[in-house]
Amino acid sequence: MLPFKLIYSDAYYLPIGEHVFPGEKYRRVRERLIQTGVAAAEDFLEPQPASDQDILLVHKPEYVQKLKTGTLSPREEMEMEIPFSKELVDGFWLAAGGSILAARQSLKDRVSISIGGGFHHAYPDHGEGFCMIHDVAVAIRRLQRDDQIRTAMTVDCDVHHGNGTAAIFAGTRTASALLPSASVSTVEHPKAAPPGKMRGAHAGDVFTISLHQHNNYPLWKPPSSIDVDLPDRTNDDDYLAWLDNALSSGLRQFEPDLICYIAGADPYKDDQLGGLSLTIEGLKKRDELVFRVARTRNIPIMVTYAGGYAQNVEDTITIHSNTVVAAKEVFAS
Ligand SMILES: [Zn+2]
């Protein structure tokens, strides 16, 4: 039995038909984890949907009303890039409930993974990029409302910038300043510092970190507390050095009560919507690094899955399953 809980429901399935986003990936990750003996049925907890009040902690009443009544404009539906349906709304409310449960579980067990969620492109007043509701932001605001946490840090490793997250937690920021990048790393880095850029500024109760491919969606990237703009085809070693650097820098500036790790599978070299060059092994090392940092510093960590569009969907399932394997190895004792 795992020393932590996996949050999952068959109803996480996104009913979007033939789509680059594999709506059935969550079920297949669960199957893989059980088939390979990584997890057993009793390791999974079934979430309840978030309440409308929970959703309204992040999203504008007018937007929530449109979703509940199916009255998005054609333009708003197009921007979301997934076909609207009542079932889809239910799926996103459930994903938000799953993230709330994962966040709560992580306070008990040090770590918890929702086999879903990570819809980091949703804004308070609109959805975009396959994201209707920002489940992670809803979870943070709900736990803050319940006085279970005061502060949180998002660590977004999806290949796409966490624009919704940055917009939701913008708070009152100072102007972006270039951070020192070479001197703060705790990883021995044998080569010269990789090309890429780290910028940051922060004020507020939620510190946001995003590592993403610079030349990719979204075109407009509102500032996170730390943004690492990675060049095309960044490889495992350079990616891990930048990640280590960003985590060290973030945790020197800010002490979170909870880390929300958005473990996108799309920095993978064969991803259809990504342009980085990480391998399956490199992505597992990425997960291990984030988990080790959380464990060493005794900060609870909750995980969501976000994107993953590998040419071969089996690779996406492997990358997401490995996140659970990595957590099992790091939190074994
Ligand atoms: Zn993505």
Q: Do residues 199 and 250 touch, judged by C-beta distance below 8 A?
A: no
Which pLDDT belongs to residue 201? Answer: 62
| Cα 260 to middle of ligand 1, angstroms | 16
| Cα 118 to middle of ligand 1, angstroms | 9
| Cα 146 to middle of ligand 1, angstroms | 30
For the record, the structure tokens of 211 come out as 């590592």
Which pLDDT belongs to residue 194? Answer: 56
How is the chain split among helix, strand and coil, in percent rounded to 5? 40, 15, 45
Which pLDDT belongs to residue 5? Answer: 98
Q: Tell me the pTM.
A: 0.92
| Cα 160 to middle of ligand 1, angstroms | 4
Which pLDDT belongs to residue 195? Answer: 67
Q: Which segments of the chain have a pLDDT < 50?
A: 172, 174-193
Q: How far apart are CA 187 and CA 109, in angstroms?
A: 27
Which residues are CB-neighbours of 198 under 8 A, at least 6 positions away? Answer: 178, 179, 181, 226, 227, 228, 229, 242, 245, 246, 249
| Cα 266 to middle of ligand 1, angstroms | 6
Which pLDDT belongs to residue 97? Answer: 98
Which pLDDT belongs to residue 197? Answer: 76
Residue 44 region, left (φ>0) first, then alpha (ψ -120 to 50), else beta?
beta
pLDDT tens-digit profile of 123-150?
Answer: 999 999 999 999 999 999 999 999 999 9
Q: How far apart are CA 191 and CA 178, in angstroms?
A: 21
Which pLDDT belongs to residue 18? Answer: 87
| Cα 306 to middle of ligand 1, angstroms | 6
| Cα 135 to middle of ligand 1, angstroms | 15
H or E stretch at 246: helix 236-253
Cα-Cα-Cα-Cα dihedral sign, residues 298, 304, 305, 307: negative
Which pLDDT belongs to residue 221? Answer: 95
